[in-house]
Amino acid sequence: MDLVVAVLFQLVYGIANLALISLGLAIIFGMMRVINLAHGEFLMLGGYTVVVATNAGVNIWIAMLILAPLVVGLIGVIVERLLIRWLYGRMVDTLLATWGLSLLLIGLVTSIFGASTGTTISPPLGIIRIGDYSASGYELFLIGVTVVLFIAVWATLKLTKLGLVARGTMQNPEMSAALGVSNTRIYMITFGLGAAVTGLAGGLLAPVTGVLPTIGATYIAKAFITVISGGASILAGTAAGSILLGGVNGIFAFITGPTIGEVALLVSAIILLRLLPRGITGRFFRKSL
């Protein structure tokens, strides 16, 4: 019984983890049709922000929850102004540009901080006991944060004026421009928001993963596949994609080991896209966000 609870907990955590690393990419791809190949590096920058800030004596919670999204969001805005805004409507060119950006960011961080940077932080919040089993309290916190983050993004898009304008702009830029909305400003804010969410995710993961300049490469493929499998809706798609792929991965990883777990994730993505060529939300929950 304890084992079942412990395994279920890990399963939920795996799903939340996947959703957390994918959400920022989903916002940028879903709203702007920009495939951000530098997504992994945005996560890495979030992690670095936390490591550098805590090394300088900043409280870990401030570093993770405030500094990481702020810094990476700001970098996102700068990137949008300097690079992405020239490329709207040219999805393929954004591939090249963000690939270049990804290399640039890795190179920049390596040049500044070296191939690895020491850290002294560890996950706060102690241990939860489940009978004979134990899990990290911080993992429970991460699950909670993921849920809150989804609700926050939903509320921003659905309940605020900014969200309404943003959705309108994405659906019909000419019309919204005609109604007096500054499209370039909306694009900038959306990209910055996506980057900030990514930075937050990277910052939150900093205490549980290694933080290295090249760590982004381990996330990008998984996040990309999750977002595309989810389909056009940002939140419902990412959630559905994460639940399906993260669930399959977790179950197979527990039964057979992590390699087959990863392969199972990839195979289920292929089958999914064959059956639902426009992703999960291309068929189901079409009206959702």
Partner 1 sequence: MNGNDTLRAMKPVFVFALIGVVFMFAAPYVLQLFTIINLTTAIALAVLALSLALVWGYGGILCFGQVAFFGLGAYAYTIAAINFGGSTWAILVAVMVASAFAAILGYFVFFGRVSDVYLGVITLTVTLIFFSLIRRTSGPDYKIGNALIGGFNGVTSPPLNLPWDTSSFLFPEHVFYVAMAALILCYVFCGWLVNTRFGRVCAGIRENELRSELLGYDSRLYKLGIFTISAGIAAIGGVLFCNGVGRITPDVFNLYNAALTIIWVIVGGRGTLIGPIAATFGLFYLTSALGGQSVLNNNLVLGVILIFFVLLVPKGVAPTITDWFTKRRKPARNSRRRRKQGRST
Partner 2 sequence: MKLSRRHFVMGTSALALAAPATIARAQSDNIKFASILDLSGGLDIYGAPMAETTKLAIEDINAAGGLLGREVELKMYDAQSTIQFYTQFATQAAAGDKAATVHAGITSASREAIRPTLARFKTLYFYNTQYEGGVCDYNNFCTGSTPAQTVAKVVPYAMNKWGKKVYIVAADYNYGQITAQWMQKFVAENGGETLDVEFFPLDVTNFGPTINKIQTAKPDMVISALVGGAHVSFYRQYAAAGMLKEIPIASTTFGVGNEQKLISAEEGNGIIASYGYFEGIDSGANKDFLTRLEAKLGAGRPVMNELAIRSYEGAMLWAEAVKAAGTIDREPVIEALRSGLSYDGPSGKVTIDSQTNHCSMNVYIGELANQEWNIVESFENQPPADTQLVCDLNENPNQSTFLFENGLEAAGIK
Of 54-62, 101-109, 126-134, 177-185, the window that binds partner 1 (rule: CB under 8 A) is: 101-109
Three-class SS string for 182-248?
CHHHHHHHHHHHHHHHHHHHHHHHCCCCCCCCCCCHHHHHHHHHHHHHHCCCHHHHHHHHHHHHHHH
Task: Quote the CA–CA distance of 167 and 125 in Å, as a whole number.
Answer: 38
Residue pair 200/149 in contact by the 8 Å Cβ criterion:
yes
CB under 8 A: which stretch of 148-156, 161-169, 229-237, 248-256 binds partner 2? Answer: 248-256
| 78 scored as a contact of partner 1 (CB under 8 A) | no
Q: Per CB under 8 A, which region of 75-83, 92-100, 119-127, 233-241 contacts partner 2?
A: 119-127
Would the CA dihedral through 242, 201, 101, 114 be positive or negative? negative
Q: Which two tokens stand for residue 54?
A: 């805590």
Closest CA to 49 of 200, 218, 220: 200
Q: How many residues bind partner 2 (CB under 8 A)?
A: 50
Closer to partner 1 by CB, 185 or 278: give it.
278
Does position 253 interact with partner 2 (CB under 8 A)? The reply is yes
The one-letter code for the residue type at 174 is E
Question: Buried b vs exposed e over 68-93: b needs ≥16 C-beta within 10 Å?
Answer: bbebbbebbbebbeebbeebbeeeee
Residue whose pair of structure tokens reads 């943003």 in the numeric block: 166
Q: Is 180 in the site for partner 2 (CB under 8 A)?
A: no
**Residue from 13, 29, 150, 187 in contact with partner 2 (CB under 8 A):** 13
Cα distance between residue 23 and residue 191, in whole Å: 12
Site for partner 1 in 221-280 (CB under 8 A): 221, 224-225, 228-229, 259, 262-263, 266-267, 269-270, 273-275, 277-279
Candidates 65, 83, 128, 130; binder of partner 1 (CB under 8 A) is 83
> Which option in partner 1, partner 2, none does residue 144 bind, with CB closer than 5 to 8 A by kind?
none
| Nearest C-alpha neighbor of 28 from the set 154, 186, 194, 188 | 194
What residues are paired with 136 via a beta bridge? 127
Q: Closer to partner 2 at the Cβ: 78 or 217?
A: 217
Task: Enumerate binding residues for partner 2 (CB under 8 A).
Answer: 3, 6-7, 10, 13-14, 17, 106-107, 110, 114-123, 126-127, 132-136, 138-139, 205, 207-215, 217-219, 250, 253-254, 257-259, 261-262
Task: Enumerate binding residues for partner 1 (CB under 8 A).
Answer: 35, 37, 83, 86-87, 90-93, 95-97, 99-108, 110-111, 217, 220-221, 224-225, 228-229, 259, 262-263, 266-267, 269-270, 273-275, 277-279
